[in-house]
Structure 1
Amino acid sequence: MARRRMVYEGKAKILYEGPEPGTFIQYFKDDATAFDATKRDVIEGKGVLNNRISEHIMGALNTIGVPTHFIRRLNMREQLIRQVEIIPLEIVVRNIAAGSLSKRLGIDEGEPLPRPIVEFFYKDDALHDPMVTEEHIIAFNWASHQDIDDILALALRVNDFLTGLFLGVGIKLVDFKIETGRIWEGDFQRIIVADEISPDSCRLWDAETGRKLDKDVFRRDLGNLADAYTEVAKRLGIMPQNGVKPRSGPKLVH
């Protein structure tokens, strides 16, 4: 596909103008960053793995009625997505104490939470993505009360699906981050899932050993990040194991 005009470049992805109005091409880079990009490296193949994993998850969410910006994968590093008006919030859903939650509240990492906890963070690299409340969101007009209700409903549905998807392949979903955006269908506005869902945006632990299979491998120098992401892809049936044809992955049970 011919290279198109670049619209935006982030730490892990680039957006190009799409082939049709209302679309973008999302390109997955091999760059890995942590600690507000003070730690960075290039991990060969990371972008390919995240593209395939995010395609698998976003496509499955579309299938079960959770709307996302994903349309289809174009090649090993690019996918066609819907153009959305991004809401400037990161939505984090936590099932098990880890990372900043453990530090803030003094809870031992690995302790199951009494219920899924949803947190909001304002997207601003210069401010280090500060945690905000619903009051901040309403006061600064980042989203309406109805938007927040829709975002919470989406986040918890994604959590239910991902928890089952990963547990079915022997992985605990500790927490994850999503972004959301607005689209319009006539005069009707909808909130949909945007950005990506991959080991870059999830904490994933092996259900038996607790081995980390996410970006904490890079953050904490725990081994080879590409190997960890490859393990996730193999378990999801996206990549063949030992020459065996890829499985279709866990099935949704109605």
Structure 2
Amino acid sequence: MARRKLIYEGKAKILYEGPEPGTLVQYFKDDATAFNAEKKAVIEGKGVLNNRLSEFFMTGLMQIGVPTHFIKRLNMREQLIRQVEIIPLEVIVRNFAAGTIAKRLGLEEGTPLPRPIIEFCYKDDALGDPLVSEEHIAAFGWASQQDLDDMVSMALRVNDFMSGLMLAVGIRLVDFKIEIGRAWDNDFMRLILADEISPDSCRLWDIETGQKLDKDVFRRDLGDLADAYTEVARRLGVLPTNAPAPSKPTLIN
């Protein structure tokens, strides 16, 4: 395939022009970053795992009626997606205290929250993706009230699906973040799930041991990140259960 026109390069993914109007090719890199890219490394095989896991989650969500930008996986590192206008917000769903909410509110990590808590952060790396309120979002026109209602509803549906999926394989979904975009069908606009869902964007803890199986392994120097992601993929059936944890994961179609 001829090299496509580069549209955007982020910390973990590259977007190329797609083969048809209104499509993009999303390439998953092996780069790992933390603390707003102050800590960086290349983790061999990470992009392959995240591509396959994001496909798995997006496909499952579409099967229960959650619209997503995912069209199909093209190869080990790339997937064909629908081009959308990304709303400049990260939508964070928290089920247990961890990360910034634990620090802000003085909560012990792992404390169950009274109910899923949804937070919004303004997408701006230079500002450190600051936490914002619905009042900020409305005042600056980032999303309408109807958009916000729909985003909250979608986030809670994703949470229900992901929590059940992870619980079935002995993993606690502590929190996760998603991005949502606007897609148009002629004059009709709808919100759809975009970006990715992977261990890069979730906190995943083993229910019995508390072992971290997400990017906190890299943030906190807790072991091999590829091993952690491979374990998630194996438990979900994305990898054969009897396969060793390779540095270059071999994935099944």
Aligned amino acid, residue 47 of structure 2: G
TM-score using structure 1 length: 0.95
Q: Decide whether the 8 Å contact of 1:95 with 1:174 is kept in 2.
A: yes
Contact 1:25 1:81 (C-alpha < 8 Å) held by counterparts: yes
Instruction: Say which SS state the counterpart of residue 173 (structure 2) adopts.
Output: strand
- Counterpart for residue 242 of structure 1: 242
C-alpha distance in 1, partners of 2:2/2:170? 40
Letter of the aligned partner of 2:43 in structure 1? I
Q: Residue type matched to 2:213 in 1?
A: L
SS at match of 1:119: strand
Q: Is 1:212 aligned to residue 241 of structure 2? A: no
Aligned counterpart, 1:88: 88
Number of equivalent positions = 247
Shift of 1:186: 2.0
Percent of pairs with identical residues: 74
Cα-Cα RMSD: 1.4
For 1:113-171, what per-residue CA distance to the aligned partner results, in whole angstroms no more than 9, with x for missing partners? Answer: 00000000000000000000001001100000110011000000000000000001110
Q: Is the 8 A contact 1:96 1:112 kept in 2?
A: yes
User: How big is the shift at 1:63?
Assistant: 1.0
Give the 5 Å matches for 1:107-118. Answer: 107-118=107-118
Gaps of 5+ in 2: 245-250
Aligned pairs (5 A) from 1:1-254: 1-243=1-243
Displacement after TM superposition at 1:188 (Å):
1.4
**Residue pair 1:237, 1:247 contacting (<8 A) in 2 also:** no
Secondary structure (helix, strand or coil) at the match of 1:189 reads: strand
Residue 37 (structure 1) shift: 0.4
- Flag as ranges the 4+ runs of structure 1 deviating above 4 A: none
Aligned to 1:251: none
Q: Please give the secondary structure, in 1, of the residue aligned with 2:53.
A: helix
Structure 2 length normalisation: TM-score? 0.96
Spell out, residue by residue over 1:225-251, the C-alpha distance to the aligned partner (whole angstroms, 9 max, x if none). 00000000000100112259x999xxx
SS in 2 for 1:53: helix
CA distance in 2: counterparts of 1:152 and 1:241, whole angstroms: 35
Helix, strand or coil at the partner of 1:231: helix
* Separation in 2, partners of 1:99, 1:46: 22
- Give the whole-Å Cα distance in 1 for the aligned partners of 2:66 and 2:143: 20
Amino acid at match of 2:139: A
- Mark the runs of 5 or more structure 1 residues left unpaired by the alignment: 249-254
| 1:90 Cα deviation from its structure 2 partner | 0.2
SS at match of 2:181: strand
C-alpha offsets along residues 147-200 of structure 1, whole Å, 9 cap, x if unaligned? 001100000000000000000111000000000000011221101110000000
* Distance of 1:72 and 1:234 partners within structure 2: 21
